Chains A and B, each alone.
Chain A
Amino acid sequence: MIKIFTLLVYIWMFTPIIAVVLLSFNPQQFGSFPMEGFSFKWYVKLSHNSTILDAFKNSLVLGSCTAVLATAFGVPAAMAFIRYEFRGKEFLNTLLIAPIMIPEVVLGVALLLFIRWLQQPKSFALLLIGHVVLTLPYVLLIVQARLVGIKKEYEEAALSLGANPFQTFREITFPLLAPAILAGMLFAFTISFDDVTATLFWATAQNQTVPVKIFGMLRNSISPEINALGAVMIVLTVSTPLLAGYISRKFAKGIGK
C-alpha cells in the first residue's frame, strides 16, 4: 500500500515535468498533445532568439556572482556562529536566517521601495544584492551544519604548532569545509537562477533573467518555445548539482587514497 502510494506521488510529481520535456520536441504549432513526430525545431528557434540568449547570459552571470558573494559573506558568518561564543548569538543567527521566513513578495517590495527612495534605477546591481539576501540564509545553514561536524581540535592543533589563523583556515578548515562551500554555492546559484517571485519586482526589460523572460512569454499563451526553454532550464539546473555531487565524490575518493 505504502509503496503504491509513494509510487503514485512520484508519478504525480514528475508527469508535468516530463510532459514539458516531451512537448518541447513536438513540431506542432501549439505546445500540446498529441505528439506529432519529433523535432528540434523549437530549440533551433530558441537559439536564434537574441532576447532569450541575453536573458540566459544575464542569468548565468547573476547566478555566479550571487554564489560567490553569498559564500564570501556566509562562510565567515558561519565560522563566527560555530566557533565563537558572544552575546546575542542566538538573536543574530535568527536575524541572518530570517529572510527564509519572510515572504518573498515582501522582500521584493521592500528592496524595490528602498532603491526607489534612494532614487536609483533598477539595475543589475539591484538583482545581485537582492539575490544575495535571498541566498545568504541557505549558504549559512549549509556551511554551519557542516562546520559543527568538523572538530575544533584540528584547528587548535594547527594553531598550537605555530600556524597563524589564516594559515589554519587555508590548510585545515577550508579543505574540510570545501564540500559544504561547494554545496552552498550551487544552492545559491540555483536559487538565483530559478527565482521569479522576488525577481519580477527587480527586473527590467533590459535586465531580464530566464524565468522573468518565461513569465513575459507566458502572457500570450503557452507556446512550444516555452516548453523548449523549460526543458533547457530543467536539464541545466538538474545536471549541475548531480555533476557536482559526482565530481566531489570522485575527488573525495582520490584524497582517501
Chain B
Amino acid sequence: MKNKSWKPWILLSPSLIAVFLLLVIPICFVIVYSFWLRAPSGADIPAFQFGNYAKFFADFFYPSILLNTLRVALETVILCLILGYIPAYFFYKTESRFKPFLMILVMLPFWISFIIRTLSWINILGDSGLINHLLLKYNIISTPLAMLYNEGAVIMGLLQYLLPFMILNIYVSLDGIDKSLAEAAKSLGCTEWQAFKEVTLPLSLPGVSAGCLLVFVLTCGTYLPPMILGGPGNEMIANLIFKRIIGTLDWPFGSAISVILMVLLMVIVYTYNRYMGIGQIFKTLSNES
C-alpha cells in the first residue's frame, strides 16, 4: 500500500501546478494589488494601505452599484425559479416520447455563444425589433415602445443566459424522487396540489437552492448584459471592474473592487455550504454533458 501513495500525486500534479500557478497565485496578486497606490502619472506604487477600499465606500456611488447588483441578482434568481421550476417539473412528470428531444433543446442554449444570446434581445426589444414591429403593424401603438436599455432588458438577457442552469439543477433533484411517494400521498387522501406541496416540493429543494446559488453567483460576476442591454443606470459591479481595468487602467482600484466582489460571493457560498452542501451543484454540472 505504501508504494502506491505517490501515484495519485503524479496523476494530479499537472492540474495542481496549472491551477496553483494560473489561479491561486494570480488571485493572491489581485489581493496584494488592491493595497497598492496609483500615482497621478498612472504608475502603480507598491504600498500597504486601505485607500482603495476607503474610496469604494467613501460616498454612495460605488456602494449603490453594489446594491444594484445584488438587487438585480435577486430579481433574476426569483424569475429564474418561477420560469425554471415548471418546465423542470414537466420533464419529471411527462411520459412523452419527445422528452429526450425536449431535454436536448433545454441544453442547446449552453452551446450557443453568450454574447449572441445577449445581443439577440436587441432584435426583439429594440425600436425596430420584433415586438415593436408587430405592435406597429397592427396599429396597437403609434410610436415604438422603449424597451431596451433599462433594467428589464438586462434581466431578460440574464434570464436567457441562466435559465438552463436553473432548469437542470431542479430537474436533477426532481429526477431522484421516487414518483410512488406522491402517489402514496394521493392514495392517503391528499389532493394533487397537496401531494406536490408536502412531498415533491420539499424533496426537490436541494436542486432549487443549488440552482438559486449558481444563478446568483453567475449574475454577480457578469458585465455583458448590462453593457449591451442596459442603460447608464444599470451598471453592475463587474462593469466597474471592467471599466477600471480595461478603460482607465487603474489596477489597484480595479483589484480592490474584484476583492470586494470575491469576498461578498465567498460569504454567500460559505453560508450556503454550511446549510446545504456544495456537492449538489457539482452533481448537476457533471450531468450537463
Q: Are A136 and B217 in contact (CB under 8 A)?
A: no
In the bound complex, what is the Cα–Cα distance between A129 and B14 (angstroms)? 13
Q: Are B111 and A226 in contact (CB under 8 A)?
A: no
Known: A19-B123, A92-B16. A110 touches B8 (CB 8 A): no
In the bound complex, what is the Cα–Cα distance between A15 and B261 (angstroms)? 33
Q: Are B23 and A133 in contact (CB under 8 A)?
A: yes
Q: Are A237 and B111 in contact (CB under 8 A)?
A: yes
Choose from A84, A95, A211 the contact partner of B7 (Cβ within 8 Å).
Answer: A84
In the bound complex, what is the Cα–Cα distance between A94 and B277 (angstroms)? 12
Check if B145 is an interface residue, CB within 8 A of chain A: no
Most chain B beta-carbon contacts within 10 A, residue among A23, A113, A197: A113
Q: Are B285 and A197 in contact (CB under 8 A)?
A: no
Q: Mark A175-188, 1 if CB is under 8 A from B, else 0.
A: 00000100110110
Q: Are A105 and B287 in contact (CB under 8 A)?
A: no
How many A-B pairs with Cβ below 8 Å? 259
In the bound complex, what is the Cα–Cα distance between A83 and B10 (angstroms)? 13
In the bound complex, what is the Cα–Cα distance between A81 and B242 (angstroms)? 36
Main secondary structure of the interface of A (DSSP, over half): helix
Pull 21 A–B residue pairs with CB atoms less than 8 Å apart, ordered by A. A5-B86, A16-B121, A23-B123, A32-B133, A34-B137, A73-B14, A73-B18, A77-B11, A81-B12, A96-B19, A98-B23, A103-B238, A103-B261, A106-B262, A108-B245, A109-B254, A129-B22, A132-B22, A141-B286, A142-B289, A237-B113
Q: B220 to chain A: closest CB distance in Å?
A: 6
In the bound complex, what is the Cα–Cα distance between A228 and B11 (angstroms)? 44
Interface residues in A102-132 (C-beta closer than 8 Å to B): 102-114, 116-117, 129-130, 132
Further pairs besides A10-B105, A136-B18: 13, Cβ < 8 Å:
A33-B129, A73-B18, A98-B23, A103-B238, A105-B222, A106-B221, A113-B255, A114-B25, A180-B289, A193-B113, A197-B238, A214-B113, A237-B113
Q: Are A110 and B30 in contact (CB under 8 A)?
A: yes
Closest-by-CB residue of B relative to A113 is: B29
Closest-by-CB residue of B relative to A141 is: B286
Check if A144 is an interface residue, CB within 8 A of chain B: yes
Q: Mark A3-37, 1 if CB is under 8 A from B, else 0.
A: 10110011011111101100100000011111000
Check if B9 is an interface residue, CB within 8 A of chain A: yes
Q: Are A106 and B129 in contact (CB under 8 A)?
A: no
Known: A19-B123, A23-B123, A86-B8. A109 touches B286 (CB 8 A): no
Known: A113-B26, A133-B23, A197-B222. A74 touches B15 (CB 8 A): yes
Q: Are A238 and B112 in contact (CB under 8 A)?
A: yes
In the complex, chain B residues whose CB is within 8 Å of the CB of A240:
111
In the bound complex, what is the Cα–Cα distance between A91 and B27 (angstroms)? 18
Choose from B90, B105, B289 the contact partner of A184 (Cβ within 8 Å).
Answer: B289
Closest-by-CB residue of B relative to A190 is: B111
Contacts from A to B (Cβ < 8 Å)? 2-3, 5-6, 9-10, 12-17, 19-20, 23, 30-34, 72-74, 76-77, 79-81, 83-84, 86, 92, 94-114, 116-117, 129-130, 132-133, 136, 138, 140-142, 144-145, 180, 183-184, 186-187, 190, 193-197, 200-201, 210-211, 214-215, 218, 222, 226-227, 230, 233-234, 237-238, 240-242
Q: Are A142 and B29 in contact (CB under 8 A)?
A: no
In the complex, chain A residues whose CB is within 8 Å of the CB of B121:
16
Closest-by-CB residue of A relative to B94 is: A3
In the complex, chain A residues whose CB is within 8 Å of the CB of B18:
73, 129, 132-133, 136
Check if B89 is an interface residue, CB within 8 A of chain A: yes
Q: Are A197 and B114 in contact (CB under 8 A)?
A: yes
Q: How many residues of B contact A (CB 8 A)?
A: 83
Choose from B83, B115, B246, B265 the contact partner of A214 (Cβ within 8 Å).
Answer: B115
Q: A143 to chain B: closest CB distance in Å?
A: 9
Q: Are A72 and B119 in contact (CB under 8 A)?
A: no
In the bound complex, what is the Cα–Cα distance between A39 and B286 (angstroms)? 42
Interface residues in B74-104 (C-beta closer than 8 Å to A): 83, 86-87, 89-90, 93, 102, 104
Known: A80-B8, A129-B22. A2 touches B262 (CB 8 A): no
In the bound complex, what is the Cα–Cα distance between A5 and B85 (angstroms)? 11
In the complex, chain A residues whose CB is within 8 Å of the CB of B116:
17, 20, 211, 214, 230, 233-234
Most chain A beta-carbon contacts within 10 A, residue among B18, B220, B278: B18
Known: A32-B123, A218-B119. A234 touches B113 (CB 8 A): yes
Q: Are A136 and B19 in contact (CB under 8 A)?
A: yes
Closest-by-CB residue of A relative to B25 is: A114
Choose from A129, A145, A194, A233 the contact partner of B286 (Cβ within 8 Å).
Answer: A145
In the bound complex, what is the Cα–Cα distance between A227 and B26 (angstroms)? 36
In the complex, chain B residues whose CB is within 8 Å of the CB of A74:
15
Closest-by-CB residue of B relative to A115 is: B26
Choose from B19, B86, B217 the contact partner of A101 (Cβ within 8 Å).
Answer: B217
In the bound complex, what is the Cα–Cα distance between A195 and B128 (angstroms)? 28
Q: B107 to chain A: closest CB distance in Å?
A: 8
